[in-house]
Structure 1
Amino acid sequence: MGCFFCGGSNKNSQRNSSRESKKPNHCTGADKVKVDLNVNGNKEATSKDDQLSQDVKNLNLKEASNDGAVHGYREKTFTFDELAAATGNFRSDCFLGEGGFGKVYKGHLDKINQVVAIKQLDPNGCQGVREFVVEVLTLSLADHPNLVKLIGFCGEGEQRLLVYEYMPLGSLENHLHDLPPGRKAIDWNTRMKIAAGAARGLEYLHDKMKPPVIYRDLKCSNILLGEGYHPKLSDFGLAKVGPSGDKTHVSTRVMGTYGYCAPDYAMTGQLTFKSDIYSFGVVLLELITGRKAIDHKKSAREQNLVAWARPLFKDRRKFPQMVDPLLEGQYPVRGLYQVLAIAAMCVQEQPNMRPVIADVVTALNYLASQKYDPQTQPGQSCKGSPPSPRHVGNGTQTDRQM
């Protein structure tokens, strides 16, 4: 599902191509970690030898030691020829997928003897240099097992490529929607594991990174899966530094993906950490229901997942109607009530009613630890009746009840 300008058309296949007009935030090497991600690359004359270096220089994204050596990145730089060779000159059989940034290819880099995923910027695509540089910066500062690892990048002339660790199971979207014949749906335990891991990645961005970051593009297609369905957040081109001090929000042009974009952000342009919480709630609903955030193939009443789910939240007798039919009844009733309570709170229309990510992580870690065995715990025999979402006031209360 593509991205779009949330405040305008709801065509989910288009990302707004206009760019934010704020000027770069200059900093010294010592202040490197405080650099604002709300930046634009200089569109004036740039180096013909290494365009990326010029972009980075303009944005003050790296620091130099006394001997002039660059120490701003952990990541490697690759030449375009190296990346072309790694993918067989971007052969069609190496093609993995395509998004707003461009096409993604699987390749093997002899230089590091590693299978990688290589994302190539489409110069005529929806995203541009700003997203490219912001993603490099964000992942240069980040280090967490639930964030995709950026191995390196290339910026020669007009070429822009990002090199990531290869995630062999693809995106969560591929395991939830439009499954090909013969592919088995992921089970309840795996869904809870993915939800908890994605929440931990978001918690790192909100609470552990310095400066804290608002993801702004959380969706199933941006959650990649490694061996054992280990989830990692990816695609940080829309990331923003969150509000600090006594500020409550960041004012910005509304960007995101239709169906995942928080209504308060779409209407006001005021971006907060709770904007990400809403998006996470939509992803959680997709994991529970197997439905898409927006599905134009369904009737008008059921096209928007959150709008369809809200009236059902009010009657626990209807909770089984919300479960993905592909689970074939193999889920714990109590666990279903609890995870629906979390999802319902995350997609509250009022942002101050949504929980903070730390509370979501606590609740989902607990649910992921409660392994469901359909042989010994048939769904209909689970005991206990946890409160429905309408009886849960906030994240802390949910944690106590779990």
Structure 2
Amino acid sequence: MAVNLHHLFPVAALTVLAVAASAAGGNIDSDSAALLSFKSFVKDPTDALSSWTAGSHPCNTAATTTSRWTGVICFSGSIWGIQLQHMALGGQIDVDSLERLKSLRTLSLMNNSFEGSIPAVNKLGTLKALFLSNNKLSGEIPDGTFDGMLSLKKLHLAHNQFSGQIPESLVELPRLMELTMEDNRFTGAIPEFKQKKLQVLKLSKNALEGPIPPSLSKLDPSSFEGNKALCNPPLAPCSSASPPSPPPPGKKNSSSNRTAIVVVLAVLLGLALLLAGALLIFCLTRRRSPRQDSLEIRTPSNLQKKASLKDEIYSMHGSPEHSQSENDRKQGDVATRLSFLKDGGERFELQDLLKASAEILGSGCFGSSYKAALPSSGTVMVVKRFRQMNNLEKEEFQEHMRRLGRLDHPNLLPVVAYYYRKEEKLLISNFVAHGSLAVHLHSSAGGQPALDCPTRLKIIKGIARGLMYLYQELPTLTAPHGHLKSSNVLLNDSLEPLLNDYGLVPVINQESAEELMVAYKSPEHIQNARITRKTDIWCLGVLILEILTGKFPASFLQKGNSADQDRDMATWLKTIEDSSTDPIVFDKEMKVPADAEGEMVKLLKIGLACCEVDVEKRMELNDAVEKIEEVKVDSITEVDDADGFYSTRASEADLRSSKEASNERPSVST
């Protein structure tokens, strides 16, 4: 009897789909079980992994945000990364459980308290990045620990208690780009690293000895400092085994020695004069007066000169002023193309920004910001340069940018596009004419109207709503904003707040983040070298107090997190807390009406509750937002010049005047 294959095909197809669906379901259950097994070996005193529960899947984005698991990064429904940093976790690192996660590419357990010897990480053979710095791991690392990890690009083992020799298996990793092993107890000689792509190697503060291999001679000397027995470039040359015997005494020898000394001194003096001349010429050519900067918007220059991007880009891809092959030109176009994060809206290229008339808005902790008007439409954009965004590889960085691009909230300033280069990144957003909240609170120049009581309440409510949205949409980030301060809050034409520079903690280099970002000035990081899910709430509290009192938290002006800054911030908060029931504590320019003092005191106490040093006692974000929404102040509808009151509904003429004033001075920016 003949069999009709056409009739059997649908049945076969359905069978294949059923098997595939069953396998997918099995993977989901397997991934959850693997993470729960890993969790069972972890000590979690702060219950940071409370979202890791049976019956849910870490990559389930269809349900509410509370079903997602903290620190788990997913891609296409599979677990792609685990990022558990600054969580006070301890215990053992169970790689046998993680071995079951077939899509795992990055594992970060930095800044915790994991103990014991290094696990058999080569069981995770597909890892691209492994971050174990700042833990309590100890013991020797066996030579074969990293055998077979052919995809590994980044390995951070710094600030542990490892001992013994540097394992030879590291030399065999073909794609290794970053290796940090500083502040351990490694001994012996440095092996010959031959990877051409090795860009970062940090071996300082160990007990290494012997000559530094020639392949590492061009690295910065700081990579090897603290190892007293190391020698050869970039450190001092090694001394010979047997020092030369001193020459016999005599007039001739003494005279020749003096001649040699004179020659050496003459050569050194000549080199010093040449260097001084070169520095003088460089300074003269780079020097620019403040008057020139203030006039640049009237005499259009271009962003490529201001941002020093022209030579960098043309050196990579060829100058369009010289002949190029068609293939080279196409490659150059792709390499300089902007990546847009929003559908619709105006499209432009990096070259359009480079040709635009530009104005320097300011230089913050991360880099400079530039205001550029597109030649075609006149649309004004802001370009911010970042040199500290090398924490993620290109694919990871792009995925995180797309994640930020999907955010949509009236109190967030959208990132319109970005430009990726290995050494630095550009983030492009729309220009907000009214500038930052910091300018309105602390700058007396430009004739800006003072922010009245209802306006400040509106700003605080908008900031709280925007932060709440970030917590909901970025549940895997420990600090969804991470850099919340008055200079990162912009005000639109209606004086509604727009949060800026949010979601950058994963992409900023760890060292730079700890030095520059506000989250790392919180009490929990100063005391325990970690940030928590309540760190942004502390930043919100500080910002509320700054808005109500008009007093700037001085320690934010400085880098680092020293004990002096800790005392400065504690003193600042204590002063406000002691005066929390006294209306005098409020900013005089806010002009709090008598019938609104009670509501403003409520708001002040909410800010203080958000600043609680003890994380466990600190107010939860949803409670803070709810209480902030309950605060009510009647709007002031008339302008009273004698008392300095300003209407919350400014006229168009007032807004134009305010905009012109803000454009005449640099904004306080990051």
TM-score of Structure 1 vs Structure 2, range by shorter chain:
0.5 to 0.7
Please state whether the residue corresponding to 2:435 is helix, strand or coil: coil
Q: What CA distance in whole angstroms lies between the structure 2 residues aligned with 1:271 and 1:237?
A: 14
1:129 has 2:390 as partner: yes
Q: How does 1:2-401 map to 2 (within 5 A)?
A: 28-31=75-78, 44=197, 73-74=341-342, 79-85=349-355, 87-88=356-357, 91=358, 94-109=359-374, 114-121=379-386, 123=387, 127-130=388-391, 133=397, 136-155=401-420, 160-180=425-445, 182-212=447-477, 214=479, 215-236=481-502, 238-240=504-506, 254-257=514-517, 261-294=521-554, 304=568, 306-310=570-574, 312-314=576-578, 317=581, 319-330=582-593, 332-367=596-631, 369-373=632-636
Structure 2 contact 437–491 (Cα < 8 Å) conserved: yes
Secondary structure at 2:494 match in 1: helix
Normalized against structure 1, the TM-score is what? 0.64
**What's the CA shift for 1:169?**
1.1
Q: Is the 8 A contact 1:167 1:225 kept in 2?
A: yes
CA–CA distance in structure 1, aligned partners of residues 403 and 444 of structure 2? 32
Question: Following TM superposition, by how much is the alpha carbon of 1:226 offset from its aligned partner in structure 2, in angstroms?
Answer: 1.3
Deviation by residue 1:98-126 (Cα, 9 ceiling, x = unmatched): 222322122233577632211133x5xxx
CA deviation map 1:238-257 (0-9, x unaligned)? 4359xxxxxxxxxx974555
CA gap 1:50/1:272 in 2 versus in 1, 3 angstroms: farther
Taking the aligned partners of 1:323 and 1:95, their CA distance within structure 2 comes to 34
Q: Contact 1:120–1:160 at 8 Å: present in 2 too?
A: yes
In structure 2, relative to structure 1, the CA distance for the partners of 1:52 and 1:210 (3 Å cut) is farther
Asked if the contact 2:484–2:518 (Cα under 8 Å) also holds between the matched residues in 1, the reply is no
Cross-structure match for 1:249:
none
Range with greater deviation from structure 2 (154-163 or 334-343): 154-163
For residues 343 and 102 of structure 1, the distance between their equivalents in structure 2, rounded to whole angstroms, comes to 30
Q: Contact (CA 8 Å) 1:75, 1:150: kept in 2 or not?
A: no
Give distance in 1, aligned partners of 2:494 and 2:84.
33
CA distance in 2, matches of 1:37, 1:238: 16
Q: Match for residue 95 of structure 2?
A: none
Cα distance 1:353–1:30, how it changes in 2: closer, same or farther (>3 A)?
A: same
Instruction: Please tell me the residue identity of whatever aligns with 1:231.
Output: P
Q: Post-superposition shift, 1:205?
A: 1.5
Q: SS of 1:270's equivalent?
A: coil
Stretches of structure 1 that go unaligned for 5 or more consecutive residues are 1-24, 55-69, 242-251, 380-402
TM-score (norm 2): 0.40
Q: Note the C-alpha offset of 1:32.
A: 8.9
Output the CA distance in 2 between the equivalents of 1:52 and 1:306. Answer: 51
Q: In structure 2, how many angstroms separate the alpha carbons of the residues matched to 1:110 and 1:306?
A: 49
Query: Which of 288-297 and 27-36 deviates more?
Result: 27-36
Whole-angstrom CA distance in 2 between matches of 1:296 and 1:105: 23
Letter of the 1:267 partner, please give it.
Q
Distance 1:363 1:296 in 2: 27
In structure 2, the CA distance between the partners of 1:321 and 1:169, relative to structure 1 (3 Å rule), is: same
Aligned to 2:50: none
CA 119–31 in structure 1, closer or farther in 2 if over 3 Å, else same:
farther
Distance across 2 between alignment mates of 1:208 and 1:139: 9
- Which amino acid in structure 2 is aligned with residue 326 of structure 1? E
Q: Is the 8 A contact 1:347 1:354 kept in 2?
A: yes
Paired residues in the alignment total 315
1:161–1:50 Cα change, 3 Å: farther
Bigger relative contact order, structure 1 or 2 (CA pairs below 8 A, ≥6 apart): 1
- Conserved 8 A contact 1:171-1:222: yes
**Change in CA separation of 1:116 and 1:157 when aligned onto 2, cut-off 3 Å:** same
Secondary structure (helix, strand or coil) at the match of 1:280 reads helix
Whole-Å Cα distance in 2 between the matches of residues 187 and 274 of structure 1? 29
Q: 1:269: how far off?
A: 2.2
Task: Give the CA deviation at 1:277.
Answer: 0.8
The letter of the residue matching 1:82 is: D
Deviations 1:27-69 (A, max 9, x none): 6444599885988897549997589989xxxxxxxxxxxxxxx
1:263·1:349 contact (CA, 8 Å) conserved in 2? yes
Whole-angstrom CA distance in 2 between matches of 1:105 and 1:195? 27
Deviation at 1:272, TM superposition (A): 1.1
Partners of 1:45 and 1:52 in 2: CA distance: 26
d(CA) in 2 for partners of 1:79, 1:256: 31
Q: How many Å apart are 1:196 and its aligned residue?
A: 0.8
Residues 264 and 270 in structure 1, CA contact (< 8 A), matched pair in contact too: yes
Q: Secondary structure at the match of 2:447?
A: coil
Question: Taking structure 1 as reference, are residues 32 and 105 closer, same or farther at Cα in structure 2, changes over 3 Å only?
Answer: farther
C-alpha distance in structure 1 between counterparts of 2:84 and 2:334, whole Å? 16
Residues 11-34 of structure 1, C-alpha deviation per residue, up to 9 Å, x if partnerless? Answer: xxxxxxxxxxxxxx9864445998
